[in-house]
Structure 1
């Protein structure tokens, strides 16, 4: 689905999705009504109504499979952000075991990293342009700082290294899942099945225009609702309903000295 649709507010996205789906339903109704004359009308009526539940079940399965992917991607994104925030919180807490100078520097590096993630990486993930090619310099510097030999506190040093590595891994997972979306082939197949069902409804009810319009209206409303639900959650970090950096911001030290 197009980038501009994903970036719309939910209300505007609903108008676009419902409008497009109703347009398809109206086109199917008008096309069948115009063709349902003479012998063609008899042929249309010969189509078995049993075709409708079969197509409906296939469409429902497509919706379920597509939605399952979207929920999985959303869960992965939430988990990655939560793990990253937890790891950084552990770094902030464990920094208390370091000498005052290193403690202040480490907290400052964590703060700078969180600000960079929230202000730079999040908009890039929303545009699906975030990359793993460059490592975050603040976390790399923090890792180098705690790896450097120091007097005492070997357990705290090991825990700090582990927490920083966990934060780096969570960031990698966050950026990877930011690229996830329902691909165009799935969207095409979803709407193709919906169009097939719309045509089948119009054909079966071709002798009763009101019944056909009502049935198409009900089905197209269900289609639009399913598509809207999937589209609004399709990209975990894009749109009005997206994952925000609040978990990271909540663990950010008040200032570089941690006061």
Structure 2
């Protein structure tokens, strides 16, 4: 698995870091097969390389396609869960707006406290999970709804609607926390990188006798593998890095963003 530092880099820095890493491996292979003993030994395998290159390239391409599709789907889910959490908060505010001014102010302060707790836990939820502060604020929301709307027929009707919206908020929150920790596994990264390395080796073997074609083939495949790894790495952590999902919809719904 790539180091965590890679995912916090700017997208341009991430791309060139991957390009440099893959490029150094390709350069090492190029120099290795320029060495006469290795070149002579690889000449016996050159006739097998076209078929092998096709198979390796196909398997690598399919692996990248499946993994990238999974990562993109997870990114879409992350965006939807954040928006769902914000929508639930707005629904609650609509119902509370029909109550007295004192009730509105009290509930608004509790929602703002929840939004501030979410903002504090955002950067660490992928590693640390839910924060105790945010969980406590969510319990305060449930307590406010259960205790503050228990008397009167109208209040009980509003209470049921608020509890439904609050349950939706809690569900979206749990989904967001789960998605934050659902990243590409070590085994998946190993599979893709190992297939990419195997493809570079097979290409080097197939062009062992011809330095210039070997250089061009390794350079072009280095760029292709780098782009494939970059696409996965740039979208692997939906809540980390320059392309991360922002807590702004939740903060805006709770009134924290306007402070």
Superposition TM-score, scaled by structure 2 size: 0.91
Provide, for residues 151-195 of structure 1, a one-character-per-residue CA deviation record: whole Å limited to 9, x for no partner.
242322211111111111111111111001111221122111111
Equivalent residue number for residue 242 of structure 1 = 244
How far apart are 1:39 and its partner, in Å? 4.8
Looking at structure 1, the residues matched to 39 and 140 of structure 2 have their Cα atoms a distance apart, in angstroms, of 80
Contact 2:92 2:166 in 1 (8 A): yes
Q: Residue 223 of structure 1 aligns with which residue? A: 225
The residue aligned with 1:123 is 123
**What displacement does 1:137 show?**
2.1
Relative to structure 1, the CA distance from residue 36 to residue 138 in structure 2 (aligned partners, 3 Å threshold; closer, same or farther) is same
1:3 aligns with 2:7: no
Label 1:82 to 1:35 Cα distance change in 2 as closer, same or farther (>3 A): farther
Could you say which residue in structure 2 is the equivalent of 1:150? 151
Pairing 1:199–2:201 present: yes
Partners of 2:100 and 2:19 in 1: how far apart?
61
CA distance in 2, matches of 1:253, 1:42: 69
2:65 corresponding residue in structure 1: 64
Query: Is contact 2:118–2:134 with CA below 8 Å preserved after alignment?
Result: no
Q: Which runs of 5+ in 2 are unaligned?
A: none
> How far does residue 99 in structure 1 lie from its aligned partner after superposition?
2.9
Partner of 2:166: 164
Secondary structure of the corresponding residue to residue 49 of structure 1: helix
SS at match of 1:168: helix
State the 1:254 CA deviation. Answer: 7.1
The question of whether the paired residues in 2 share the 8 Å contact of 1:85 and 1:247 is answered with yes
> What whole-Å deviation, never above 9, does each CA across 1:191-221 have from its counterpart, x for those lacking one?
1111111111111111111111101111110
Partners of 2:256 and 2:217 in 1: CA distance: 59
Q: Once the 2 structures are TM-superposed, how far is the Cα of residue 253 of structure 1 from its aligned partner? A: 3.2
Which whole-Å CA distance do the structure 1 matches of 2:224 and 2:256 have between them?
48
Q: Is the 8 A contact 1:36 1:44 kept in 2?
A: no
The total of aligned residue pairs comes to 254
Work out the CA distance in 2 between the residues paired with 1:217 and 1:158.
Answer: 63
Q: Could you list the runs of 4 or more consecutive aligned residues of structure 1 that deviate by over 6 angstroms after TM superposition?
A: 132-135
Contact 2:23/2:222 (<8 A) preserved: yes
Question: Contact 1:92–1:253 (CA<8 Å) still a contact in 2?
Answer: no
1:26 aligned partner = 27
Aligned CA-pair RMSD: 2.1
Q: 1:220 to 1:39 in 2, by over 3 A?
A: closer
| Alignment partners' CA distance in 2, 1:94 and 1:40 | 77
Give the corresponding residue for 2:87. Answer: 86
Question: In the superposition, relative to structure 1, how do residues 144 and 49 fare at CA in structure 2: closer, same or farther (>3 Å)?
Answer: same
**Separation in structure 2 between the aligned mates of residue 71 and residue 10 of structure 1, nearest angstrom:** 16
Is the contact made by 2:33 and 2:39 (CA closer than 8 Å) also made in structure 1?
no
